Chain A
Amino acid sequence: MAFLRRPLLLLLLVTHQFLQLWIASGSVNEEGQKQEEFYEELLLKPLPDRKVLTHFHFQSSAPPSTSNGRHHHLFPKAISQLVQKFRVKEMELSFTQGRWNYESWGGFDSIPSSNAKPPGVELWAVFDVPQHLIDALWKNLTHTLSGLFCASINFLESSTSYSAPEWSFPPALGNLRYGTLPREAVCTENLTPWMKLLPCRDKAGISMLLDRPSIYRGFYHSQRLHLTSTGFSSEGMDLGIILEQTLTVVLQPNIQRASLARTSEKHIQPSWSLSSIFGKEVNGKCVLAETSNVYLLLDRSLVAELKQLHKENEKSAEIVLTSENFWTNSNFELSAKPDRIFIEESSLLSKNSSILYKFEIEKYSEFKPFDLGLTWKIPVGWMCQQAPLHASRFLMGSGNERGAIAISLISTQPSEGSMGANFDGERCELRVDVFQVVPWYVKVYFHSLQVFVDQQPKAVSDIIGTIHVSPSKDKVSPGVMELALKLPCNVSSAALTIEFDKGFLHIDEYPPDANQGFDIPSAIVSFPNFHASMVFLENDYLNKSPLLSKFQEKSPVMSYTEVLLVPLTTPDFSMPYNVITITCTVFALYFGSLLNALRRRVAEEERFLKEKAAKKTGRIPLLLSKLSAKLRGRRPEPPHPPPGSSSLVNSKLVLKVVLVAGLAVCWQYYIS
């Protein structure tokens, strides 16, 4: 193997050199124009409940250029074609499995606000075309993406499954379409096409870590594809696209159960390393990437906790956080030396600032693979910063007829009135936007909207600033509700309830697993006054890193609620035949007897018959019957003799039946 490996390595090195030369020449050729770029980054963050958040961030960008024509060096062609064809201005597609635990994993940072997604598939897109063309483009886009990612995104094509939010969805730009498929199962078949968009696939660089079994063993994973295109000019050729691919995975480091049982070690955070959680190491960077970095983020409250511990242990007044030896201190130990340490600018909200360790992959190679490990020495406990209100949604009521959706918002601040984000004079308001899509078979009555603040019922007009409602149309479009709530800052709990009737579907419209119930997609609760951003000192460097510049962007804090399962009335699919026969019989009996009762007049009939009997049968009918008999070529039959008495007929019938039964018994006897 050793002989083999060396030539291979040589080959690799040669190609590496060649590629670099080639790219350089490319960039030289087009002086003044930016070239296509690719960045790969990985963020690791320990979570309070003994888990680790890993966030892969890959960004490729294609600058606007005319010279390349339709060809790209690094940028995936499929995506650029898609953008050109469907005039996509901005688009995001996410595949998620599991739920983001807002309470223990935090809900305020930019990672949860932009990467915590509802289970299943979520797709939204902004188009750069006139209003009337959008729906057609959306339908084509869903089909294209469906083929591209091996998923049933094409179910979003139907107008009952997507909606057009006006303003409550954060990238509110008009021309937006939004759809979710909560029941979509996410698996490797979706990850592989996503990986194919990367220049190095999973063969080199950070993406080597993407070991399928360990990713799908995680508690949450969400793969996301976000693309922005910068302006369509009239030619339609030169456009810049930024493709951002992220994969957020929450993993639990392997821990021995035996060690867990020891009470002393029970509260210590598990130690982990890249190789222990992914089973792989990084053998150097992807040669096509501009930068290839791994970051370790320590949360604000974690840093505060560590400081506190330091103070208690060593009694030293101040420790130098950025000192070179911080990465191997008495609390924890890092297996690799960070190349750089960033400290967050302390913001208004909290005095504490998070710390970011940067590791450059460039320095590592196959002979010296990068394997970051974190070993805790003492037990630490902390809480992640949460969104001002924790949103949860649930169904109320029971039965197949009606129910209610309730969204409850509970303050996450332990003490009241500490939401000093926007104090303006005496009236302090907390704005909460709620965006809720309900399928048409859940017929929501918007007039039944009730608002409770601190367990007191409030008038809807007092609390709701703006409301935009588009009622659902049966089998055409879903109902959309956008609300802007103005809650007092010291609110401790708020609740919204809205009642609905459960609709009936046509038998064709039921999915194969109709008895599971029907999903109501997640509602989006966003806090426009709060922005999740992390501003680090030493800005000059950070602009080069897309991940960190993403952190610095001011994005509103957003959270998704749970998906709800509404049991609807379902027919018994297994016996349609029985149902049809029984129904038909009942109908026949009913209408038959009804018609008889309405139409027949028994007394008159009797009288009529009696009159007939009294009169002799007329001549003409007799003649007519004779004539008809002659025409048929038979001799005129004598009038029928009156049939024997009914008892005789009955006895004959009984005799026949007995005969047949006897024959059957004999037959049965001889056969056996």
Chain B
Amino acid sequence: MAETKEKSHSDEKPKPRVRPIVRLGIFLVSHSFLVSVVCFTSGVLALFLLPVLAKNTYISENALMPGSASPMLSNHHVSDGNRLVKDLTNSNLKSSETGIESHKIIAKYMLDVGAEVSFHKFHPQMNQFHPLHFFSSPDSGKIQENCSCSSYGINTVGIIRAPRGDGKEAIVLVTPYNALTSSFGEVLSLGIAYSVFSLLTQVTWLAKDIIWLVVDSQFGEYAAVSAWLREYQTPKFSSHSTLNAEMCPDINYLFEIKVHSMAGSKFSNSFRRAGTMTAALVLKVRDQSEQFDDTVSIYAEASNGQMPNLDLINVVNYLAVHRQGLRVNVEKLWSLLNSGWLKSLGEIFESLATIAKSLNPKFKFGIPATEYVEGIATLASSLYYQALGVPTGPHGAFRDYQVDAITLEISPKFSLDKVWCSDILLRGGRLIEGVIRSVNNLLEKFHQSFFLYLLTSPSKFVSVGVYMIAFALLIAPLPMVAASLYVDANSSKGDSSFLFAITDTDEHGITIRSWRWLNSAKSVFIVHLWGAIVSLLPYFICQIPDCSPTTSFMIWVLLSILSLLILNLVLASPLACVKASQEKEWALVKSVTISSVFIGLGLMSVINFATAEIGALLMVPMCLLARPLKLDVRVGTLRSCCRIICNLVLGHIAFPPAAFFLFKGMLDGFGSANVGDFWMWVESLWAWNSATYLFIGMVQLPCWVLCVSILFHSC
């Protein structure tokens, strides 16, 4: 500081010396148009480059040691599993009230191998909209007053205590099973789990307890798993529901097993626990398959885009591919696989890579075009499911309690007849055994590998450090454009008036002008308030009995418009406050809108990155391009025409329902689209406490409204 002072002393004509960071800021703000175009295009490009930048997965935690031990599951255990399958299918044919009967069979089999068995009765909890329920930890649930015997679900729980373990940790194996309409696939998944279970009762290497949870999926798999977890983690000691359960005749019949089985058995009425859960595997077998290989599909997305530790997926992938010869699948958007433009993009990247390789053979970043297209399809589905915030399977319930969990769905090559049955039992069983064994090796909980990643194939991933770049580039122009708009609006009032204000030293005028943005901030705030009200409305609408989705949606739209009008009347209109003197009002409104969108996107990227990414793709161009149509029409150049068209298109696409229908149409075709679908989709979002819902209601919708209001601004 002293030096600069001296310099200013010595200089003939001292200039205010601006610090380089400020100079850079001023430079960027003054060239905001160029910067925003460059940033946005490079952001989109970076997003499309992600499959190229993806790294191969590797097992980060050394303690896991997958596949280092040879599998111990033998044909003997497979025949055990086969016996259970046979018994269950027979019982299905035999008796009508199979529900209870098959639970008894499963419990008896568990007891036979020496496990502790207990039943867990639960009420399926209806998903209800709690306005303040987002992000809150799952509570123990409400006590339902009138629950009849028919609405009970029964989970069968078998626990193997590790012979020499200290019982502090446990691994959970979940098999969904609907006793009433049991498909062969479900029975087979029970068979696989049982063959592993019977092996695990004999092994000596077990260090963690094993919990086998057969969930009653008649009320949905997720509901059953989350009911069990709720009882496990946050039990209610003062509830009456368990007492009620004892009175139901069916359940009493179930407990006769205690009498029938030999004395000294480990059956108990009370809820059984083992220690802290390390990991959970949900196992399913699909009935029909259209695959050409035996495949394992991995589903990992939990609520709000949370993912299990990458190591868990790596272990499954490694064991399935390199040990059991199964093909591993992660979800893809199949519709993208055939798109020509992606293929050509992939070819461009491939040729670029070959050119780069010819320059320097060390540059090896190219991937074949077909692989690229598959990578993009996987990445898109990965982004989509994370953005949706709805778990893709019952494993999502575990993630709510910070337990790493995935769903494995085995789909056999052939239709499931007896011959291939034992092959699937053996290979699936060995896969599960291997995974359990390597999780059992863990000394600490999963922490070594990534939690924030996107998969581009089962063995390739993009970590947070890479995919953040695309998002950062997308939203980088927002603050600059906001600043430049603000400066513009303040100064371009006319240089003369600015000078006039200065020379007159009209302090009052300066302050008024510099605080003018507050007016537009108020209007933006009102619209955001309206957004909050709109997102609360479904809570009241869903209380209306006998309402079809279409009518609810209509009610919602009507109420939203009504509330917007009321807010306008009561507080102030964002449009009507424009005075003739402030012709640049729209620029200020846009500037404030852009900054609020920037804040919203930034916040959302912390909560659910994928939502923020997709939201940024839609909203950033809309916000940046928004300009009163009148102005553009008045100018009438080619550039303004383009802008008008872009604005109109974006204004349609970025409207949340429109975006939803567009997306749905791309996936399933436009024929089946129905207005009620959007309502159903929204309902599912809030039922799963998805933050995406809040994002749409409180960031995207207000932003769209503000942008549209700017478009139709009268100036």
Query: Would A99 and B161 count as touching, CB distance under 8 A?
Result: yes
The binding surface of chain B is classed by DSSP as loop
> Quick one: CB contact mask for B545-573 with A, threshold 8 Å, 1 for yes?
00000000000000000000000000000
Query: Would B360 and A517 count as touching, CB distance under 8 A?
Result: no
B334 at the interface (CB under 8 A from A): no
Residues on A with beta carbons closer than 8 Å to the beta carbon of B16 = 602, 605-606, 609
Which one, B92-100, B145-153, B237-245, B293-301, is touching chain A?
Answer: B237-245
B266 at the interface (CB under 8 A from A): yes
B residues 488-505 in Cβ contact with A at 8 Å: none
A73 at the interface (CB under 8 A from B): no
CA separation between A668 and B270, bound complex, in Å? 73
Residues on B with beta carbons closer than 8 Å to the beta carbon of A606 = 16
Known: A455-B237, A455-B243. A217 touches B204 (CB 8 A): yes
B447 at the interface (CB under 8 A from A): yes
Say which residue of B14, B202, B276 sits within 8 Å of A565 (CB atoms).
B276
CA separation between A379 and B264, bound complex, in Å? 12
Residues on A with beta carbons closer than 8 Å to the beta carbon of B163 = 98, 219
Residues on B with beta carbons closer than 8 Å to the beta carbon of A640 = 10-11
B657 at the interface (CB under 8 A from A): no
Residues on A with beta carbons closer than 8 Å to the beta carbon of B138 = 398
- B13 — nearest CB in chain A belongs to which residue? A613
B8 at the interface (CB under 8 A from A): yes
A312 at the interface (CB under 8 A from B): no
B665 at the interface (CB under 8 A from A): no
> Quick one: CB contact mask for B174-214 with A, threshold 8 Å, 1 for yes?
00000000000000000000000000001010000000000
Q: Return B507 CB to nearest CB of chain A, in Å.
A: 12
Q: Return B17 CB to nearest CB of chain A, in Å.
A: 9
A residues 492-521 in Cβ contact with B at 8 Å: 493, 495, 497, 513-517, 519
> Quick one: CB contact mask for B258-282 with A, threshold 8 Å, 1 for yes?
0000111010101001011000000
CA separation between A516 and B166, bound complex, in Å? 13
Q: Return A97 CB to nearest CB of chain B, in Å.
A: 6
Query: Would A267 and B243 count as touching, CB distance under 8 A?
Result: no
Query: Would B14 and A609 count as touching, CB distance under 8 A?
Result: yes
Query: Would A563 and B167 count as touching, CB distance under 8 A?
Result: yes
Query: Would A495 and B237 count as touching, CB distance under 8 A?
Result: yes
> Quick one: CB contact mask for A547-589 with B, threshold 8 Å, 1 for yes?
0000000000000001111010010000000000000000000
B137 at the interface (CB under 8 A from A): yes
Query: Would B445 and A567 count as touching, CB distance under 8 A?
Result: yes
Q: Return B302 CB to nearest CB of chain A, in Å.
A: 13
- B243 — nearest CB in chain A belongs to which residue? A455
Residues on A with beta carbons closer than 8 Å to the beta carbon of B8 = 609, 612
Say which residue of A452, A515, A562, A564 sits within 8 Å of B237 (CB atoms).
A452
Known: A640-B10, A642-B13. A98 touches B164 (CB 8 A): yes
Q: Return B266 CB to nearest CB of chain A, in Å.
A: 7
B130 at the interface (CB under 8 A from A): no
Which one, A198-206, A234-242, A388-396, is touching chain B?
Answer: A388-396
Residues on A with beta carbons closer than 8 Å to the beta carbon of B237 = 406, 408, 450, 452, 455, 457, 495, 497
Known: A98-B164, A98-B165, A642-B11. A398 touches B137 (CB 8 A): yes
Known: A455-B238, A495-B237, A617-B9. A515 touches B264 (CB 8 A): no
B residues 1-52 in Cβ contact with A at 8 Å: 8-16
Query: Would A396 and B235 count as touching, CB distance under 8 A?
Result: yes
Q: Return B141 CB to nearest CB of chain A, in Å.
A: 14
A399 at the interface (CB under 8 A from B): yes
Residues on A with beta carbons closer than 8 Å to the beta carbon of B264 = 48-49, 104, 381-383
Residues on A with beta carbons closer than 8 Å to the beta carbon of B12 = 617, 639, 642
A625 at the interface (CB under 8 A from B): yes
Residues on A with beta carbons closer than 8 Å to the beta carbon of B240 = 455
Residues on A with beta carbons closer than 8 Å to the beta carbon of B242 = 455
- A48 — nearest CB in chain B belongs to which residue? B264
Query: Would B238 and A613 count as touching, CB distance under 8 A?
Result: no
Query: Would B13 and A519 count as touching, CB distance under 8 A?
Result: no
Residues on A with beta carbons closer than 8 Å to the beta carbon of B266 = 49, 103-104
Interface size on B, residues (CB 8 A): 51
B residues 459-493 in Cβ contact with A at 8 Å: none
B168 at the interface (CB under 8 A from A): yes
- B113 — nearest CB in chain A belongs to which residue? A260
- A495 — nearest CB in chain B belongs to which residue? B237
B350 at the interface (CB under 8 A from A): no
Known: A267-B262, A515-B447. A457 touches B168 (CB 8 A): no
Among A97, A99, A103, chain B packs the most CB atoms within 10 A around the CB of A99
Say which residue of B112, B167, B233, B263 sits within 8 Å of A382 (CB atoms).
B263
Residues on B with beta carbons closer than 8 Å to the beta carbon of A257 = 76, 202
B234 at the interface (CB under 8 A from A): yes
Say which residue of B161, B202, B233 sits within 8 Å of A398 (CB atoms).
B233
CA separation between A617 and B7, bound complex, in Å? 12
Say which residue of B13, B112, B235, B444 sits within 8 Å of A515 (CB atoms).
B444
A120 at the interface (CB under 8 A from B): yes
Residues on A with beta carbons closer than 8 Å to the beta carbon of B447 = 515, 570
Residues on B with beta carbons closer than 8 Å to the beta carbon of A99 = 161, 165-167
A397 at the interface (CB under 8 A from B): yes
B512 at the interface (CB under 8 A from A): no
Residues on A with beta carbons closer than 8 Å to the beta carbon of B444 = 513-517
Residues on B with beta carbons closer than 8 Å to the beta carbon of A111 = none
B443 at the interface (CB under 8 A from A): yes
Query: Would A398 and B166 count as touching, CB distance under 8 A?
Result: no
A residues 208-265 in Cβ contact with B at 8 Å: 217, 219, 257
Known: A517-B445, A565-B276. A381 touches B238 (CB 8 A): no
Q: Return B403 CB to nearest CB of chain A, in Å.
A: 8
Known: A396-B233, A396-B234, A517-B445. A567 touches B164 (CB 8 A): no
Query: Would B9 and A516 count as touching, CB distance under 8 A?
Result: no
Query: Would A516 and B10 count as touching, CB distance under 8 A?
Result: no
Say which residue of A410, A455, A456, A517 sits within 8 Å of B276 (CB atoms).
A517
CA separation between A381 and B259, bound complex, in Å? 13
Residues on A with beta carbons closer than 8 Å to the beta carbon of B14 = 609, 612-613
Residues on B with beta carbons closer than 8 Å to the beta carbon of A613 = 13-14
Query: Would B166 and A381 count as touching, CB distance under 8 A?
Result: no
Known: A562-B275, A570-B447. A452 touches B238 (CB 8 A): yes
A539 at the interface (CB under 8 A from B): no
Query: Would B15 and A519 count as touching, CB distance under 8 A?
Result: no
Query: Would A564 and B275 count as touching, CB distance under 8 A?
Result: yes
A67 at the interface (CB under 8 A from B): no
- A493 — nearest CB in chain B belongs to which residue? B270
Query: Would A457 and B401 count as touching, CB distance under 8 A?
Result: no
Query: Would B9 and A567 count as touching, CB distance under 8 A?
Result: no
- A565 — nearest CB in chain B belongs to which residue? B168
Q: Return A283 CB to nearest CB of chain B, in Å.
A: 30
> Quick one: CB contact mask for B94-132 with A, threshold 8 Å, 1 for yes?
000000000000000000101000000000000000000
A182 at the interface (CB under 8 A from B): yes
- B237 — nearest CB in chain A belongs to which residue? A452
Query: Would B166 and A101 count as touching, CB distance under 8 A?
Result: no
Residues on A with beta carbons closer than 8 Å to the beta carbon of B415 = none
Query: Would B273 and A394 count as touching, CB distance under 8 A?
Result: yes
Query: Would B360 and A672 count as touching, CB distance under 8 A?
Result: yes
Residues on A with beta carbons closer than 8 Å to the beta carbon of B169 = 565
A119 at the interface (CB under 8 A from B): yes
B residues 425-461 in Cβ contact with A at 8 Å: 443-445, 447
List 9 extra interface pairs beyond A516-B445, A617-B9, A640-B10, CB under 8 A: A219-B164, A396-B234, A455-B237, A455-B243, A514-B444, A516-B443, A609-B8, A612-B8, A617-B12
- Can you sample 9 A-B contacts with CB below 8 Å? A49-B264, A98-B165, A381-B264, A399-B402, A410-B270, A516-B444, A562-B275, A564-B276, A617-B9
Across the A-B interface, give the 3 residue pairs with the lowest CB-CB distance, nearest first. A515-B444, A48-B264, A381-B263
* Chain A residues at the B interface, C-beta cutoff of 8 Å: 48-49, 97-99, 101, 103-104, 119-120, 182, 217, 219, 257, 266-267, 379, 381-383, 392, 394-399, 406, 408, 410, 450, 452, 455-457, 493, 495, 497, 513-517, 519, 562-565, 567, 570, 602, 605-606, 609, 612-613, 617, 621, 625, 639-640, 642, 668, 672
